[in-house]
Amino acid sequence: MMSKKEMRFGTTAIHGGLKPDASTGAVMTPIYQTSTYAQHEVGKHKGYEYSRTLNPTRDALEKNIAAIEGVKYGACFGSGLAAIDAVLKMLNPGDEVIATRDLYGGTHRIFNSVFKKYGIEFHFTAMDDLQAVEELINKNTKLIWMETPTNPMTNLVDIEAVCALAQKHNIISAVDNTFATPYLQQPAALGADIIMHSATKYLGGHSDVVMGALAVNDKKTAEEIYRIQNSTGAIPGPMDCFLVLRGIKTLHVRMKQHCENARAVAEFLDGHSRVAAVHWPGLKNHPGHELAKKQMRDFGGMLSFSLQTDTQEAAHQLVKNTRVFTLAESLGGVESLIGHPVCMTHASVPQKEREASGICDSLIRLSVGIEDSADLVEDLEQALEKR
């Protein structure tokens, strides 16, 4: 076996943290569909006891996710939001959080509609201005929450710079790495303390499971996360863990194609007369293009665009007319999806925040899948022609 240091990303995705099953030699991690385990003697048992605490299939997935993020510890949860919930439960009443302004709608909702009433205060800022971030820091600031590229505007946050600022003030830094995946960027290498995933998206990759994950390098932080995971119990089942393990084995192959297809779609939309603006970090006129080149391996499979006729009706008309792109929530699966953030993913974000983030009425979000890119372009072409 190669040592961990020698492994490149694709090899780590397939082998990282994994061994053939100890009892049978099974190459694929078995689905340990059990809640409990036989103990040999009272009080002296070492190993698995109860599946909320530890399950071999989940354990394998947690180690694999840690390996692809380049850290020591992973923890899986019943959804991405359950993973975010676990991070917030590390805080105390009176603590303050600074977060990227155009966050995933659900993250915004858990911050403002659940944790605010437990006495935690949230501040939102674009994060392209480091001074504005620093001005929000006070002695109560305990966590800086980043999302990059953002959803749905694909704005970039300079992970290394914000993490350095957090470190200077002794604040925990966390990055929602759902859009980029560790194939495109590894936040821990840029200084992040906690990496969060909605594994529902690219890690699972096949739109067949809902799951969340955290990855950390610090032992004490990991112990605190495992304590919360076991005490509050939002764990995923072994079957779902198996599905995500299987998904991750092709993460690097899928991501290459997602990026290549997104480029074809972005360049097509960029030249279309009905399109007002295209937001994809790979376009040279994207405000985060240079930063994306620095901190990401490629530019990702998510993009959004607005129409010259900036109305919700125009957007609704378009999303009704696509045949390959399916109108649906979620992202990161092999199939292409189309959505209207204002009425779907971001309906829970207050209008004021939405407008400040540039989410206009006609904004359309694409999760570009790994179908043949010519079919994707032709599909959008015919949908844009229909009025």
Ligand X SMILES: *Cc1c(COP(=O)(O)O)cnc(C)c1O
Q: What residues line the site for ligand X (CB under 6 A)? A: 79-81, 104, 106-107, 147, 151, 176, 178-179, 198, 200-201, 210, 212
Give CA–CA dist 211/81, Å, rounded. Answer: 9
Closest separation between CB of residue 109 and ligand X, Å? 10
52 noted as active-site residue: yes
Active site residue 202: no
Judge contact between 63 and 76, C-beta under 8 A: no
Considering the complex, state which of residue 61 and residue 81 has its C-beta at the smaller distance from ligand X.
Answer: 81
Query: 131 is written with which tokens?
Result: 């001074």
Within 8 A by CB and 6+ apart from 184, the residues are 255, 259, 296, 297, 298, 299, 300
Looking at the Cβ atoms of 163 and 180, the one nearer to ligand X is 180
Strand spans (E) along the chain:
73-77, 96-100, 121-125, 141-147, 172-176, 194-198, 212-216, 275-279, 302-307, 326-327, 337-339, 364-367
**What tokens appear for 69 in the block?**
């993020």
CB of 197 to ligand X, least distance (A): 8
Closer by beta carbon to ligand X, 147 or else 240: 147
- Match 């699972």 to its residue by tokens: 204
Q: Among 21, 37, 52, 246, which one carries the catalytic annotation?
A: 52
Phi, psi angle pair for 46, to nearest 5°: -115, 135
Cβ at position 146, least distance to ligand X in Å:
11
Question: Would you say 51 or 198 has its CB closer to ligand X?
Answer: 198
DSSP helix/strand/coil, 372: coil
Is 183 marked active-site? Answer: no
Residue closest to ligand X (Cβ): 80
List 176, 240, 298, 361, catalytic entry: 176
The distance of closest approach from Cβ of residue 165 to ligand X in the complex, given in angstroms and rounded to an integer, is 22
Catalytic residue numbers? 52, 104, 176, 201
